């Protein structure tokens, strides 16, 4: 935290290896004890000792580095205020005067258009308050740690606790509706105070959920997103919607309070997305089940306390599948972390269930209805993927524009080369189109009767998922080309791009691969057009 006021001439006196200060963006950093740890080397810092090194710093780092190393900052360049004047608050974010219309850094297409002075019918004051809250939360609590968490291949439980405190976990688990019976609304930063809250819980809608997902995804890590949201978004909803009251009380409050975590365990080594043919079997025994089988690619499986498991309780096909909750402490449960190309901190697991005895009370809803419960959550799951994928694509665009505006080749900034602008243009048009379609579909989920949503929105949402993940793939590729070698190495300026590029498949395959989504989308849409609207086909 900055404390003192200095003149440039005073900083100049600290220019040796034993006493080394530098000025960056009008702040003074004492880097004496950092010289040997500086990843760019000691020499380069010493060359700038006692000087204003802003230009050189900006050439090699992202602004976020200074937040992470804030402890090195000892003051600012300038005069101390006269006695009785305001105390310096050098680290405070500037207050945005025109929050109504303008919010964020104003990088072209770096945020949705309603952040950049465009009107929109979808958002009101509580949405604007929520976006401000979420941005500050992600910038301070998530963004500085993402690289570290990713390398460590885990998200700390403390993040779940912090998100729970604000009501973010409950927002992720609800389908645009808050599960208010299962978390302490009045203890949540976002919702306490009813009508005076940041978001009045009675008014919480799908656009609030959208903002939370979209702003979280600014962290630029699918691993953190899947780590935090994976189980809550797909493992918990089948219990909230279909579970017995006793099962809900036993599981949901702990998950929404960040004390426990959950995952959805469907995919198997041999069954892939083919849910109807899964082989994990639950045989009835003594007032319960004995479960045997293997699950693979299970998001959050390495650390989850609860597993919402798809098992065969009946005959072949989709009519013989049930959902049963298995608990980590039950004998016969073992998990191991899988080594995947992306989403490292999400805890992707291979799971073995060997003669696991589970009480009947852990059955979700009715026996042999599991396939129906899974399918009912598909639209919600896919929309979650759409929101994350498109914001990750936006992160690629934002990073590419920022980097292209400072890096020069052949004496010209990258953004002044038409070939680079052409890449940015194609990225922007795809992101904006995907966002507009996403908003349109979200609006339908708020206005269309639920039974009709299942029929009418399944096709468009499947197509939208393919649209979002192909946009992500395109943007990750083009941003990598723009960053060059920096996006080929982990960490540093190209950190987000390198990671997102590795994570593209984790969006394009789960929740329905692009191939399945495109086919289903058209099949379903043709069926709906003929059956419901009388299209003469």
Give min distance, CB of 155 to ligand HEM, in A.
Answer: 20
Give min distance, CB of 221 to ligand HEM, in A.
Answer: 15
Give min distance, CB of 17 to ligand HEM, in A.
Answer: 15
235: number of CA atoms within 13 Å, CB side?
33
- 8 vs 436 by CB, closer to ligand HEM: 8
Q: Starting at the edge strand that comes first in sequence, how are the strands of the sheet with 15-16 ordered?
A: 4-6, 73-77, 27-30, 19-24, 15-16
Give min distance, CB of 419 to ligand HEM, in A.
Answer: 23
- 35 vs 509 by CB, closer to ligand HEM: 35
Nearest to 113 by CA among 399, 433, 389: 433
DSSP H or E segment with residue 395: helix 378-406
Give min distance, CB of 369 to ligand HEM, in A.
Answer: 50
Dist CA 424 CA 431 (whole Å): 11
Q: What is the separation of C-alpha 252 from the centre of its chain, rounded to a whole number of angstroms? A: 21
- 22 vs 164 by CB, closer to ligand HEM: 22
Site residues (vs ligand HEM, CB under 6 A):
22, 24, 29, 31, 38-40, 44-45, 48, 53, 56-57, 60-62, 65, 69, 72, 491-493
Count CB-CB contacts under 10 A for residue 317: 12
Residue 104 backbone phi and psi in degrees, to 5: 105, -165
Task: Give the SS3 label for residue 172.
Answer: helix
Give min distance, CB of 487 to ligand HEM, in A.
Answer: 11
- 27 vs 295 by CB, closer to ligand HEM: 27
- 24 vs 169 by CB, closer to ligand HEM: 24
Residue whose C-beta lies closest to ligand HEM: 40
Q: Show the tokens assigned to 473.
A: 């793939």
Q: Which residues contact 526 (CB under 8 A, 6 or more apart)?
A: 537
- 60 vs 488 by CB, closer to ligand HEM: 60
Nearest to 51 by CA among 18, 21, 19: 21
Residue 200 backbone phi and psi in degrees, to 5: -65, 120
- 442 vs 479 by CB, closer to ligand HEM: 479
Give min distance, CB of 488 to ligand HEM, in A.
Answer: 11
- 45 vs 198 by CB, closer to ligand HEM: 45
Give min distance, CB of 44 to ligand HEM, in A.
Answer: 5
45, 30 contact by CB (below 8 A)? no
Give min distance, CB of 475 to ligand HEM, in A.
Answer: 22
DSSP states along 236-267: SHHHHHHS-HHHHHHHHHHHHTTSS-EEEE--
Q: Show the tokens assigned to 77.
A: 């360049």
282, 336 contact by CB (below 8 A)? no
- 29 vs 306 by CB, closer to ligand HEM: 29
Nearest to 517 by CA among 345, 273, 347: 273
DSSP H or E segment with residue 438: helix 418-447
Give min distance, CB of 412 to ligand HEM, in A.
Answer: 21
- 357 vs 407 by CB, closer to ligand HEM: 407
Dist CA 519 CA 537 (whole Å): 18
């Amino acid at each position: 935290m900055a404390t003192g006021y200095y003149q440039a001439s005073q900083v100049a006196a600290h220019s040796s290896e034993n006493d080394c200060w530098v000025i960056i963006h009008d702040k003074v950093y004492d880097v004496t004890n950092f010289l040997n740890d500086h990843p760019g080397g000691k020499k380069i810092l010493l060359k700038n000792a006692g000087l204003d090194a802003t230009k050189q710093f900006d050439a090699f780092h992202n602004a976020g580095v200074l937040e992470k190393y804030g402890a090195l900052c000892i003051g600012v360049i300038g005069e101390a205020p006269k006695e009785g004047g305001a105390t310096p608050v050098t680290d405070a974010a500037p207050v945005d005067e025109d929050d109504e219309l303008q919010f964020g850094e104003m990088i072209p297409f770096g945020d949705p258009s309603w952040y950049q002075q465009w009107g929109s019918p979808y958002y009101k004051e509580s949405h604007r308050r929520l976006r401000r809250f979420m941005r500050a939360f992600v910038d301070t609590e998530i963004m500085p740690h993402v690289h570290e968490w990713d390398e460590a291949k885990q998200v700390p439980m403390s993040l779940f606790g912090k998100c729970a405190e604000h009501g973010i976990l409950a927002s992720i688990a609800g389908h645009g509706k808050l599960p208010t019976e299962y978390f302490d609304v009045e203890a949540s930063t976002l919702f306490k105070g009813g009508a005076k809250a940041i978001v009045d819980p009675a008014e919480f809608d799908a656009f609030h959920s959208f903002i939370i997902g979209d702003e979280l995804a600014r962290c630029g890590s699918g691993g953190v997103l899947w780590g935090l949201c994976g189980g809550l978004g797909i493992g918990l909803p089948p219990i909230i919607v279909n579970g017995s009251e006793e099962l809900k009380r036993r599981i949901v409050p702990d998950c929404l309070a960040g004390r426990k975590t959950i995952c959805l365990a469907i995919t198997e080594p041999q069954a892939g997305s083919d849910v109807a043919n899964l082989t994990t079997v639950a045989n009835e025994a003594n007032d319960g089940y004995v479960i045997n089988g293997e699950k693979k690619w299970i998001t959050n499986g390495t650390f989850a306390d609860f597993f919402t498991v798809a098992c065969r309780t009946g005959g072949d096909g989709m009519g013989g599948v049930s959902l049963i909750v298995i608990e980590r402490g039950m004998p016969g449960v073992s998990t191991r972390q899988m080594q995947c190309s992306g989403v490292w901190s999400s805890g992707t697991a291979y799971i073995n269930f060997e003669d696991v005895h589970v009480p009947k009370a852990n059955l979700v809803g009715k026996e042999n209805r599991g396939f129906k419960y899974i399918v009912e959550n598909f639209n919600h799951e896919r929309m979650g993927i759409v929101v994350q994928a498109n914001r990750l694509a936006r992160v690629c665009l934002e990073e590419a524009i920022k980097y292209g505006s400072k890096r020069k080749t052949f004496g010209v900034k990258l953004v002044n080369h038409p070939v680079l602008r052409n890449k940015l243009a194609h990225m922007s048009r795809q992101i904006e189109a995907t966002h507009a379609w996403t908003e349109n579909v979200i609006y339908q989920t708020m206005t269309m009767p639920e039974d009709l949503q299942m029929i009418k929105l399944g096709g468009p949402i499947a197509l939208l998922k393919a649209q979002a993940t192909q946009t992500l793939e395109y943007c990750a590729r083009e941003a990598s080309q723009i960053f060059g070698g920096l996006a080929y190495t982990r960490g540093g300026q190209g950190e987000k791009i390198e990671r997102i590029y590795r994570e593209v498949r984790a969006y394009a395959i789960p929740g329905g691969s692009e191939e399945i989504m495109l086919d289903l989308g058209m099949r379903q849409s043709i069926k709906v057009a003929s059956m419901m609207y009388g299209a003469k086909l």
